[in-house]
Amino acid sequence: MPEQHSTASPLVIEGLTFRYHSRPEPALHTLSLTLERGELLLVAGASGCGKTTLIRCINGLIPRTYNGDLEGSILLDGQDGSEMTMATLSQTVGTVLQDPERQILGSFVLNEVAFGLENLGLPREEILQRVDETLDYLGISRLRERETFYLSGGEKQKVALAGVLAMRPSILLLDEPLASLDPASAQEALSLFRRLADEGVSIILVEHRVEDAFSIHPDRVLFMQEGQVTYCGPPDGLADVVDYRQVKMPAPVVIQRAASEPPPTFEPAIKPNGREPLVAFENVSFAYEDDGPTVIRDVNLTIRRGDVIALLGPNGAGKTTLVKHAIGLLKPRQGNVVIEGRDTRDLSVAQIAHTLGYVFQSPSHMLFAPTVREELAFGPHNLGYDEEIITEGVERAVEIVNLKGLEEYPPLALSFGQQKRVSIAAILAMRSKILVMDEPTAGQDYWNYMAFMDSILQMPGFEAIFFITHDLDLAICYASRVILMHEGQIAGDGSPAEVLTDIELLHRCHVVPTSLLQANLEYLPRTGRFLRAEALAHVPAT
């Protein structure tokens, strides 16, 4: 499938500097980079450090779509990128966005994958041939006639990739491609990226899940801070130059480094009591269409005061559908969902919002206000809070999710990771009793998501926290209760040490054991519970 375009280096960047007109400081500073044919380059760094801006410069969205001051040069297969048409660029550079919702335009998978080819004016026979070859190459031919609206987040990511690969680019830009994927699907995707590189495609992989990306042995790692390159070299050298608190390293590395530091002090404000029910699912089943497949089946589940619940499971298992029943966006076809004693059929979404605040998986589904400050104040205004309480809540939320200094920025002008934090802050400002988050760490760098999870769990006010995640380590570090879903049903429910020791169950639910899980299994006879790596570093030897 991959095609060779020229003998020149696919990408040469010299002295690249860019500043958005909507922001005072440059997003990139004098960046230079050469990408060789068939090279897989991993790009890492904190949210807002310039990774996505770099991608926009390479694929031509800067300066064609995003306005700002641009300096430096970009050569693509030996040609000046600024002189290429977008049609030519699209056949040289393919981009998969971190939020597939923003990339998919077609109503059906076939139309979506064919969209770019149709715009090139290719013959119908060639278009259909390329579509089928690409779907088969990715192992998703079964999705060909499916409506894109009903695909899971992981399926949408694969379809977005198919639409790009069908154009047969020589350079592939992947912006957080693992953000919507369950661990098993992420491993499949990473293996595919390695295969594409081995077959001659030059790949820039922007990813916060550094430990996962290391499994496919990227050729080089580029680490960015505040728009500048602070490391570019072999993967083995990254651990020597970055703080383990900034980049998620394998648990043994963290345990070794943290052993010489003071033990961490983390005491969540939420205390499980296991008694008072807040939300109850009673024999709940649901299908999106009358004659469609059942998405969740015979679910019985109670969320109690003090619970910190991590909901894990493969893409398409029904996790988001389950949560949408809790917040009233969906009503059961069978059974009942009861919130503080009242059936959700008798409650409006606004009434439910006083009890459950929901952070969507995709920030673009939530954000619309002209500034971050107005975004955070919108929900509390609708719930009728006093201005003083609203102001205090907004300031507190900004502090918790590390948005200080961005209050007057347009939310949609921020990076995806920053947008995600805005969406979480918007719910924090509403003071709901239960915080519900769908993939809270998607698009987040390790330091930021650990910092705001620490802050959220230590903040008084929430009676329970419920989060969907593909990040097994997030569940290990923060959950008091883990629920595993598989094919629309509850497959496991209990403490992390009870549920996550069943390796066969994890395999069935597409949960891939991590180095932190392996470390916890080794330490469990001494600890009796699961801990983060920094705490394991201080567990006595006997």
171-175 β-sheet, strand order: 93-96, 171-175, 202-206, 40-45, 220-225, 228-233
What pLDDT does 414 receive?
A: 85
> Model confidence at 448, in pLDDT bands (50, 70, 90)?
confident
**Which pLDDT score is estimated for 299?**
96
Instruction: Give the range of the structural domain holding residue 419, as residue numbers without chain letter.
Output: 356-431
Confidence (pLDDT) at 23:
83
45 lies in a domain? yes
Distance CA 101, CA 436 (A): 21
Position 274 scores a pLDDT of 65
Rounded CA separation 163/120 (Å): 13
Q: Assign residue 140 the CATH number of its domain.
A: 3.40.50.300
Query: Cβ distance 446 to 453 under 8 Å?
Result: no
DSSP string across 73-128: EEEETTEEGGGS-HHHHHHHEEEE-S-GGGT---SBHHHHHHHHHHHTT--HHHHH
The length of the chain in residues reads 542
- Lookup: tokens for 248: 């998620």
pLDDT band (50, 70, 90) for residue 127? very high
Residue 480 domain flag:
no
State the average pLDDT over residues 225-242: 91
- pLDDT-based confidence at 8, cuts 50/70/90? confident
What is the pLDDT at residue 346? 95
pLDDT of residue 336: 97
* Domain contains 73: yes
Half-sphere exposure (Cβ direction) of 374: Cα atoms closer than 13 Å: 10
Residue with structure tokens 């040289």? 92
Q: Contact, 442 vs 204, CB < 8 A?
A: no
pLDDT bin (cut points 50, 70, 90) of residue 249 is confident
Q: What is the pLDDT of residues 81-124, one digit of tens each?
A: 988 988 888 889 999 887 777 788 889 999 999 999 998 899 99
Residues 377 and 425 sit within 8 Å (Cβ to Cβ): no
Residue 392 falls within a domain, yes or no?
A: yes
Could you tell me if 159 and 36 lie in one domain? yes
| Spatial distance between the Cα atoms of 407 and 523, rounded to a whole number of angstroms | 43
Same structural domain for residues 377 and 237? no
256 in a domain, yes or no? no
For residue 473 the two structure tokens come to 């380590």
Residue 67 and residue 214 in one domain: yes
Q: Residue 203: which pLDDT band, with cuts at 50, 70 and 90? A: very high
The phi, psi pair for 423, rounded to 5°, reads: -65, -35
Confidence of residue 350 (pLDDT cuts 50, 70, 90): confident
Q: CA 130, CA 123: separation in Å to the nearest integer?
A: 11
Range from 91-100, 266-275, 366-375, 517-526 carrying the lowest mean pLDDT:
266-275
Mean pLDDT across 199-210: 92
pLDDT exceeds 90 at position 324:
yes
Q: How confident is the model at residue 3 (pLDDT cuts 50, 70, 90)?
A: low
Q: Which residue, 246, 265, 295, sits at the end of a domain?
A: 246
Q: If pLDDT is split at 50, 70 and 90, which confidence band does 280 have?
A: very high
Q: Is 37 among the domain residues? A: yes
Domain count, the chain: 2
Q: Residue 174: helix, strand or coil by DSSP?
A: strand
Pick the last residue of a domain from 413, 431, 449: 431
Q: How confident is the model at residue 263 (pLDDT cuts 50, 70, 90)?
A: confident
What's the whole-number mean pLDDT along residues 360-379?
A: 88
Q: Using alpha carbons only, what angle is made at residue 287 by residues 352 and 359, rounded to the nearest 5 degrees?
A: 35
Q: Other C-beta atoms within 10 Å of 74: how many?
A: 22
| Portion of the chain with pLDDT greater than 70, in percent | 98
- Reported as a single tens digit per residue, the pLDDT across 134-179 is 999 888 999 999 998 888 767 888 899 899 999 999 999 999 888 7
Give the per-residue pLDDT at 98. Answer: 75
**pTM here?**
0.80
Q: Judge whether 317 lies within some domain.
A: no
Average pLDDT, the chain: 90
pLDDT at 362: 74
Q: Is residue 193 part of a domain?
A: yes
**Is residue 392 scored above 60 in pLDDT?**
yes
Give the mean model confidence (pLDDT) for residues 443-459.
81
d(CA 178, CA 185) in angstroms, rounded, equals 8
Nearest one of 135, 146, 137 to 196, comparing CA atoms: 137
Per-residue pLDDT, 2: 57
Q: Which of 190, 225, 246 is the last residue of a domain?
A: 246
How high is the pLDDT of residue 319?
A: 92
Percent of the chain with pLDDT over 90: 59
Q: Write the pLDDT tens digit of every residue in 28-70.
A: 999 999 999 999 999 999 888 899 899 999 999 999 999 899 9
